[in-house]
Amino acid sequence: MWGTSPFDEMLEKATSELRLAGDEDIALNLEICDQIRTKTVLPKSAMQSIKERLNHQNSSVQLLTLSLLDMCVKNGGGYFLLEIASRDFMDNFTSILKLPALNRKVQERMLELVQIWAVGFEGKSSLSYVTMVYKTLKREGFTFPPKDAVAANLIMVDTPTAPDWMDSDWCMRCRTPFTFRNRKHHCRNCGQAFDQACSSETLPLPHRGIVEPVRVCDSCFIELKMKNVPKNLEDTTVRRSQSQSRPGAKPKSAREQADEDLQHAIEESTPTAPDWMDSDWCMRCRTPFTFSNRKHHCRNCCQVFDQACSSKTLPLPHFGIVEPVRVCDSCFIKLKMKNVPKSLEDTTVRRSQSQLRPGAKSKSAREQADEDLQRAIEESTRRPTTPRLPRPLAIHDRPIPPLAPMEVLTARAAVPIPPKVNGDDFTSPDSN
């Protein structure tokens, strides 16, 4: 349908008429909850879309929507709960509940949810309208199921969510005005407005239910990174910066000094990949690089290799690289060995030592383990490779035939020339 938002499409797919009641797509429902929680879709817009699906005439659609609504209330965050507890939603919810032709299972499910919400929202003044509706329905004679305290405790009333975005005409850190070229950006952690120079970092925010890296300001980046810096390293950098302050220098504020020291601590605690090397041939198989045999760099050791010697990929968390990147075969084996269990290593060592040939020189346990583990990794990661064809010889590389010796040339010069044949004048040399 024209004009339908992606969220509405997901909602219609999760509550489709083709689904049976009780056949919920849990993964899709959780994805909808994540969009509400991270404010990818506004909580009020999400509430309006769910309200429209509740007004559907199909009872299966209504039951699927109620199951999705229950999951969103438990995982959607505090801002969505405010929309559910509003008069707009609860009055519409009550009007559906009072329809004479309402399906019995739908009515029982709606009464169950109202009771769970009333118990879970008890003591919250901003959500008190749900409790009022619950008491009104009880006075009107509606029969509710037994109370389920466990289900009510699953509602995440106090879970922190992404803050509301603030508005400003200038960066809230460097005070630079926003223009057509200096655009406005918002930090997903604190919600303040910054320019590109003060909000160029990205981080996941699991405490707000955001698992993908999103834009954060420099202050929040340092504050969140500080949690991963060891306490002794943090104290050392602070003391060193305080002891190395130049005499007569302008003293910095506590905030500026803390930002500088923590940034320095983060840089020291996070190793960086070395510089890339350069070469005209592969540093493993010594094959020259050509137009068809291209040059590649290992992201771990930064040496140069061809495709055959650097076809593996691995993430490098020790360099801050979480996505799989190209590594050479040597680094691949070395990094893979860290994930081999100790029991497997001991087993391969014992097996290899028991199969030694009589009279052969015994290897050390570490050498034998390295050899066995390397063989195991190569067998488990072996890929069919195309054999390399020999490089065709150039014209100047082809062998030149040897020159004929002088004796042969002299003998050829002494061979008599046969006489000219002129009809009957031919005389044989034997006729004399």
Q: Is the separation of the CB atoms in 37 and 71 below 8 Å?
A: no
User: What span, in angstroms and rounded, lies between the C-alpha atoms of 198 and 233?
Assistant: 25
- Report pLDDT digits (tens) over 154-202: 555 444 556 667 788 889 888 889 998 898 888 888 888 899 999 989 8
Q: What is the mean pLDDT of residues 98-126?
A: 89
- Per-residue pLDDT, averaged over 84-101, amounts to 92
Q: Tell me the one-letter amino acid at 360.
A: A
pLDDT reading at 218 higher than 70: yes
User: What is residue 228's predicted lDDT score, i.e. its pLDDT?
Assistant: 63
Q: Can you tell me the distance from the alpha carbon of 366 to that of 225, in angstroms, rounded to the nearest whole number?
A: 38
d(CA 94, CA 111): 10
| pLDDT for 266 beyond 50 | yes
Structure tokens given for 319: 């360099």
User: What's the pLDDT at 345?
Assistant: 47
Burial 46-80 (b: 16+ CB within 10 A, else e): bbebbbebbeeeeebbbbbbbbbbbbbbbbbbbbb
Is pLDDT of 237 > 60?
no
pLDDT at 396: 52
pLDDT of residue 348: 47
**116, 117, 120, 126: CA torsion to nearest 10:** -170
pLDDT reading at 55 higher than 80: yes
Q: How confident is the model at residue 1 (pLDDT cuts 50, 70, 90)?
A: very low
Q: For 226-322, where are the alpha helices, taking DSSP H only?
A: 231-243, 254-269
Mean pLDDT of 328-344: 71
Q: What percent of the chain has pLDDT over 90?
A: 22
For the chain, what is the mean pLDDT?
76
What pLDDT is recorded for position 355? 52
| 46 band by pLDDT with thresholds 50, 70 and 90 | very high
| 45 confidence band (pLDDT: 50, 70, 90) | very high
∠ CA 129-135-139 to the nearest 5 degrees?
Answer: 140
User: Which region holds residue 307: left if phi is over 0, alpha if psi is between -120 and 50, else beta?
Assistant: alpha
Q: According to the model, what pLDDT value does residue 119 have?
A: 86
Q: Are 51 and 72 in contact (CB under 8 A)?
A: no
- Closest to 312 in 3D by CA, of 299, 296, 329: 329
Residues 6+ away with beta carbon under 8 Å from 273:
299, 300, 302, 316, 319, 321
Q: Which tens digits make up the pLDDT trace of 130-153?
A: 999 999 999 999 988 887 766 656
Span 371-382, average pLDDT: 63
Paired with 368 in beta bridges are none
Structure tokens at 425: 């004048």
Mean pLDDT of 36-50: 87
Residue 250 pLDDT: 61
Q: Is the pLDDT of residue 349 over 50?
A: no
Distance CA 297, CA 285 (A): 14
pLDDT band at residue 49 under the 50/70/90 scheme: very high
Contacts for 149 with CB less than 8 Å, ≥ 6 apart = 119
Assigned token pair, 287: 């094959």
